[in-house]
């Protein structure tokens, strides 16, 4: 299996209880990406996303734009690794 671009993205701010995970699911359908989104106990939302670098970048930016009023900080950790995801789900 060939390596793909992967990013772990952490969003903080007022990101839980505002439809963030559903928005991520909707935005992911617009791009060729796979992965998941979940709430964390510390109040952040984590997104694990993979695909072509351009698609991942566009997805993360589009999600940020969709939820801009709720996000205070975005932390991104890119890497190349074997593909692990199929589809995009709320975890």
- The predicted-structure confidence for 18-32, as pLDDT tens digits, reads as follows 999 999 999 999 999
Q: Residue 22 phi/psi, 5° resolution?
A: -65, -40
Q: Which domain holds residue 47?
A: 3-90
Residue tagged active-site, from 21, 72, 76, 80: 21
Q: What is the pLDDT of residue 1?
A: 56
pLDDT bucket at 5, cuts 50 / 70 / 90: very high
User: What is the edge-to-edge ordering of all strands in the sheet holding 71-82?
Assistant: 71-82, 3-13, 45-51, 33-39, 88-90
Residue tagged active-site, from 29, 38, 39, 66: 39
Domain count within the chain:
1
Q: Is 81 a catalytic residue?
A: no
Q: Is 72 a catalytic residue?
A: no
Instruction: Average the pLDDT over 36-49 and give the result.
Output: 98
Q: 0.85 exceeded by the pTM?
A: yes
């Amino acid at each position: 299996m060939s390596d793909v671009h992967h990013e772990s993205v952490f969003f903080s701010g007022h990101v839980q209880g505002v439809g963030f995970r559903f928005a991520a699911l909707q935005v992911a359908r617009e791009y060729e990406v796979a992965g998941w989104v979940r709430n964390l106990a510390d109040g952040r939302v984590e997104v694990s996303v993979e695909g072509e670098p351009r698609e991942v970048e566009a997805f993360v930016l589009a999600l940020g734009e969709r939820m801009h009023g709720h996000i205070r900080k975005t932390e991104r950790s890119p890497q190349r690794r074997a593909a692990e995801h199929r589809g995009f789900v709320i975890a």
